[in-house]
Amino acid sequence: MNLVNTITRVLLVGALAVFLGCTGDDNSSSSATGENGSGEMVTLTPGAGVGSEESSSALGEGVAAVVNGHEILISDIDAALAGQMMQMTQGQAVSAEQISMFRQMYQPQILDSMIKQALLSDAAEQAGIVATPELVDAFVDEQIQRVLEQTGMTREELAVTMANEGMSLDAQIEQMRADPAVQSAVVIETLLEQNFGDRLAVSDAEVAAFYAANSARFASPARVRASHILIKTVDDNRNPLSEEEIAAAREQINALLPLAQDPCADFAALAQEYSACPSSAEGGDLGWFREEGDMVPEFSEAAFAMQPGEVSGVVETMFGYHIIKVTDRQEAETAPLEEVAAQIRGYLERGKMQEVLQEYIPALMSTASIEYAAGYEPRPQQPTMPMGGGMAVPMQ
């Protein structure tokens, strides 16, 4: 996930995901498109969900469930389904069968999350908690601060980054303030803080302890950036060339070696002219790679034995003969605590939130009145979506 996607997720995706793990999209215009067996396009849109043909029931037109008198609409479930499918398929076309399977898998989970949200909202309403402008502003400011801490940006840098992607930070903030999902998140967060504030707090000592016990999560391996010239000894199917062709390849690489090792040589130009690797179009540049897992062992061993500016001798791999030039390198390092403290604190907060919700929501359900329309009843042993939401602690 790139930076702008991360920013957008924090600022715009329904804020209740922090509490309930809801994975839908608030945008009611979301849709997912595929083809049926006849090649005709079929679309998953709000109001066209599983069971929506039975929308007329004792609960009312288009109602999937009623929680303590609050209706959960089929159209809202379908909107969440469409948004989730769009995220998982990255907007690619899917078949009608895939859409049907997706409905069967995720519709009960989304409805379950919406019921939990309704229970929490109802409890907040009974407690007299309202999403005042002051509470909403404080919540939005907190989300912005989290983005800044996680990206290491200033507010000005964040605005520029989003502007480069055609987005306005100020406009997104205003949209977030007006978003009903954000307002619901505000009242639920206030409710939980009032009832479980002591259990939700994360101390500096807890952050430091987690960092000490999990420092490997924040380690960045050594990396090298290199260019190379390749004279192949295999064909495009990786079958060995003839002995004569291999001998000619060796003769060619030996002739190129002193040219490439000349301090005044233009290595990129030599790679463009002679290298059989597709990277020749970039002057032989292979970009950054780690010592293990990115390149064949012989290549990595040679590259990591050099410093920037150095050129190797002839290196033989399964692909042929290489001459390698290291252009940059970064040594292994572990991010200091102050750089990752905000990420750790958020991770621990979400864990505590999940623990609280796993106790609190069943207690609310035990006294709640919940009615289901036909086709929307809970399934036996149906796994639910995680209530904690949020991302894992990023590794460096």
CB 72 within 8 A of CB 373: no
Structure tokens at 65: 């469930």
CATH number of 222-331: 3.10.50.40
Question: What is the pLDDT, as a whole number, of residue 381?
Answer: 54
Q: Which amino acid is at 157?
A: E
Q: Which CATH class is domain 3-213+336-372?
A: mainly alpha
What rounded mean pLDDT belongs to the chain?
83
Kindly state the percentage of the chain with pLDDT values over 90: 56
| pTM summary value | 0.60
Dihedral angle, C-alpha 166, 167, 170, 171, nearest 10 °? 110
CA-nearest of 312, 304, 305, 263 to 284 is: 312
Question: What is the pLDDT, as a whole number, of residue 87?
Answer: 81
Domain ranges of the chain: 3-213+336-372, 222-331
How does residue 80 score in pLDDT terms, banded at 50, 70 and 90? confident
Residue 33 has pLDDT above 50, yes or no: no
Q: How far is CA 320 from CA 41, 124, 144, 241, 283, in A?
A: 49, 68, 51, 10, 18
Q: What is the DSSP string of 369-394?
A: -EEE-TT-SPPTTPPPPPSS-SPPPP
**Each residue of 213-241: pLDDT tens digit?**
999 899 989 999 999 999 999 999 999 99
Structure tokens at 164: 């480069």
